[in-house]
Amino acid sequence: MRILDPHIHMTSRTTDDYEAMYAVGVRAVVEPAFWLGQPRSGVDSFRDYFDSLLGWERFRAAQFGIRHHATIALNPKEANDPRCREVLDLLPRYLAKDGVVAVGEVGYDAMTPAEDEVFAHQLALAREAGLPVLVHTPHRDKQAGTRRTLDVVRESGIDPGMVLVDHLNETTVAAVRDAGAWAGFSIYPDTKMDERRMVALLQEHGTERMIVDSAADWGRSDPLKTWRTGTAMLEAGFTEDDVDQVLWRNPVALFAQSGNLVLDPVPGFVPGDLPAPAEFAGSSVLRGVRA
Amino acid sequence: MPTTSSRPTTGPTRTSTGGPAATDPWLADALAEVRRDPRAAERVLPLVGRHVGRDPLRPDVDPAGTVHGTVDDAARASVVVALAAVEPAPVLAAHLATLYRDGDAVERRGVLRGLDALTGSATGPLPGEVVAVGRDVAGDALRANDTALVAAAVGPFAAAHLDQHTWRHAVLKLVFQGTSLDAVAGLDDRADAELARMAADLAAERRAAGRAVPADLHRIGAPPA
C-alpha cells in the first residue's frame, strides 16, 4: 500500500509517528496550516509557523523517508481575530514557495462575515498563484456550512477540480460531488468519520474524486487512519487498485496541479536505519552523542 | 460598595453568593486594594486560586465547575465588579481588554464572569465601551477549545449583548463539547427557529453516522427520533 496523507498536522506528532507511518506505506504528506489549539496573538506567530512548516518539518519528515508538503492560509477560526488579519498580506509571498501545494485550510468555522471575506480573498489568491485549495467544513452547522462553501467556490470562478472540500460525512458528500470538487474525509477514532462508515460511502459513491486523510493533530487522532481505511477497504472486497486510487492516485492528481508535489524516494534513506546525521539550521533529529 | 454586595448576582443557576470566597479575608483585602488602586487587579487576578481555592460552586450538579463556575471564578468576578465601581467606563473597558489579553484561561474566565456580574447588577445598563470590549473577549473565548472558558462566555452578558448568530453558534458549541446547556443564561428566551433548525441538522448528521444524539439537542428544538 502506498499512501499520501493529504491532511495531517505533523508539527503536533512525534518521530515515532513518522516511523510508524513509513512502515505502513506513507511516503508523502500534506500539512495544512491551521491554528494552535488556542488563539495566536499576532502576525509574527504565523510567520514562524509557516517557516517551520516549510523548513524544519519538511526536513524532519525527510529524515524518516517521507516527503512533506504544506498548504498555507489564514485559517477560518483566526480569520475572526483582527490581530491576525494582516496575515493575508504575507500570503502571496508564501504561496510562491517550494513545497506549497495548496491554499489551506480555508473555509468556515462560525460562518461570520469576516470568514466570508477571508475565504473569498484566499480563493482569489489561489487562482492568482495557480494552486489548489483545501477547504475545511465547519463542525457546527455542517450542512449549511458546506452549501455556503460550495456557493462561494462557485462565485470565485475557480475550477472545482482544484478544490478539496474536507471533513465530509454522510449528509454533505453528495453536494460536494455534484459540484465537481474533490470529496475529502477525515478518519478519526470517533467523531468526524470512521473506517467502517468510509467503506460504506465508497461503496455508495465509488472511488473517483474521493480522498481519505487522518487529519491527525494535537487532538485525539491516529496518523495511521489512512492505512486502516485501506485495510478496511480490502476486507470489504475492494481491490488493491481501488485502494491505490483513493490513498495515492487521487491526492496525487489533486496536488500535482500545484507543480510542487515531490514524490521521488528521499535520497539516501534506508528503511530501518537511523536517520542520517544531517542538520537543518544547526539542528538535527538525533539526540545524544553522534558517532 | 461593600464586599458582600459586590458579589456576582447573576441569578441562582449561575454563581453563588456564598462559598468559601465570600468570607475570605485575603479577598476582602484584595478588593479593598483594587478599589484604592485599580492597577492592583493585574497582581491580584492570577493569585486568586491559591488563596480562595478552586472548588466548584455547585458540586452537586457540576463537580468540575465548568457549567456554573468555581469559587475562584466568582472571586475574580468580584474583582471586576470592584474595578467597575471606581473606574470610568472608557478606562474600565481598556482595563478589561488588557486583563483578558494578558490573562491565562482562569483569569479570562474571571473577566467573562465579571462581565456577567456587571450585567446582572442593579447599577443600570453597561456602558457602550464596556459592552464592545465584552463582545470582543466573549468572541475570543467562544473560539477557544477550553470547555470552561467557552462555558464562561454564555452567561448573562452573552444573553444580553451577543448577536443572535454568534449566540446560536455558542449554544451549539456547548453541545459539541458536551457541556450542559444549563450554562447558558436566557436559553429559553433567545432560542429561535434557526437554532432549532441547526439542532435538527446536527441530530440528523449524528443519526446518519450511527452515533448518539445528545439529549440537549432536543432541549433546543431537535425533533425526537
Q: What residues have CB less than 8 Å from B90, skipping those under 6 apart?
A: B129
Chain B CB contacts of A220 under 8 Å are none
Q: Does B176 touch chain A if contact means CB atoms closer than 8 Å?
A: yes
Chain B CB contacts of A37 under 8 Å are 145
Chain A CB contacts of B143 under 8 Å are 39, 77-78, 80-81, 109-110
Cβ contact, residue pair B201, A110, below 8 Å: no
Is there a domain that residue B223 lies in?
A: no
Is there a domain that residue B179 lies in?
A: no
Range of the domain at B139: 3-162
At A72, give phi and psi (nearest 5°). Answer: -120, 135
Is there a domain that residue B103 lies in?
A: yes
Cβ contact, residue pair B144, A39, below 8 Å: yes
Cβ contact, residue pair B201, A38, below 8 Å: no
pLDDT tens profile B2-39: 333 333 433 333 344 444 556 799 999 999 999 999 99
Of residues A39, A77, A144, nearest to B201 (C-beta) = A144
Per the listing, cell 472571586 goes with B75
Residue from B107, B162, B202 to probe the interface with A (highest A Cβ count within 10 Å): B202
Length of chain A in terms of residues written: 291
Q: What is the reported pLDDT for A289?
A: 55
Asked whether B50 and B82 are in contact (CB, 8 A), the reply is no
Q: What is the reported pLDDT for A233?
A: 98
Is there a domain that residue B48 lies in?
A: yes
Query: On the CB side of A65, how many CA atoms lie within 13 Å of its CA?
Result: 21
Q: Which amino acid is at A110?
A: A
Of residues B144, B169, B208, nearest to A110 (C-beta) = B169
Q: What letters, b where the CB count within 10 A reaches 16 and e where it falls short, cover A228-261?
A: bbbebbeeeebeeebbbbbbbebbbebbebbebb
Cα B150 to Cα B142: distance, rounded to the nearest angstrom: 5
Q: What is the reported pLDDT for B111?
A: 98
Range of the domain at A124: 3-256
Cα A269 to Cα A280: distance, rounded to the nearest angstrom: 16
What sign has the CA pseudo-torsion A190, B140, B160, B87? Answer: positive
Is there a domain that residue A284 lies in?
A: no
Closest CA to B70 of B79, B60, B57: B57
Q: Does A14 touch chain B if contact means CB atoms closer than 8 Å?
A: no
What sign has the CA pseudo-torsion A121, A192, A28, A203? Answer: negative
Q: What is the reported pLDDT for B2?
A: 38
Is there a domain that residue A268 lies in?
A: no
Q: What is the reported pLDDT for A273?
A: 80
Q: ipTM of the predicted structure? A: 0.74
Q: What is the reported pLDDT for B9?
A: 38
Q: What is the reported pLDDT for A288?
A: 64
Q: Does A112 touch chain B if contact means CB atoms closer than 8 Å?
A: yes
Is there a domain that residue A172 lies in?
A: yes
Is there a domain that residue A265 lies in?
A: no
Is there a domain that residue A271 lies in?
A: no
Is there a domain that residue B168 lies in?
A: no
Name the residue of chain B whose CA is nearest to A195's CA: B209
At A34, give phi and psi (nearest 5°). Answer: -140, -155
Closest chain B C-alpha to A187 CA, distance in angstroms: 12
Cβ contact, residue pair A112, B166, below 8 Å: yes
Asked whether B114 and B77 are in contact (CB, 8 A), the reply is yes
Name the residue of chain A whose CA is nearest to B101's CA: A41
Residue from B101, B106, B194, B201 to probe the interface with A (highest A Cβ count within 10 Å): B201
Residue from A34, A38, A221 to probe the interface with B (highest B Cβ count within 10 Å): A38
- Looking at chain A, list the stretches that DSSP marks H as alpha helix, in order from N- to C-terminal side: 15-24, 43-54, 56-62, 87-95, 113-129, 142-156, 173-178, 195-205, 225-235, 240-244, 250-256
* Cell numbers linked to A83: 490581530
Query: On the CB side of B169, how many CA atoms lie within 13 Å of its CA?
Result: 23
Q: Does B204 touch chain A if contact means CB atoms closer than 8 Å?
A: yes
Q: How many domains does chain B have?
A: 1
Q: What is the reported pLDDT for B120?
A: 79
Chain B CB contacts of A190 under 8 Å are 211
Closest chain A C-alpha to B36 CA, distance in angstroms: 31
Q: What is the reported pLDDT for B8?
A: 41
Cβ contact, residue pair B139, A80, below 8 Å: yes
With a cut of 50, which residues of chain B have pLDDT below it? Answer: 1-19
Query: On the CB side of A210, how many CA atoms lie within 13 Å of its CA?
Result: 24
Q: Supply the CATH number for residue A209's domain.
A: 3.20.20.140
With a cut of 50, which residues of chain A have pLDDT below it? Answer: 291
Is there a domain that residue A281 lies in?
A: no
Of residues A77, A140, A190, nearest to B172 (C-beta) = A140
Is there a domain that residue B217 lies in?
A: no
Cα A106 to Cα A167: distance, rounded to the nearest angstrom: 12
Is there a domain that residue B184 lies in?
A: no
Cβ contact, residue pair B169, A141, below 8 Å: yes
Cα B167 to Cα B199: distance, rounded to the nearest angstrom: 14
Residue from B142, B192, B205 to probe the interface with A (highest A Cβ count within 10 Å): B205
Q: How many domains does chain A have?
A: 1
Q: Does A205 touch chain B if contact means CB atoms closer than 8 Å?
A: no
Q: What is the reported pLDDT for B32?
A: 97
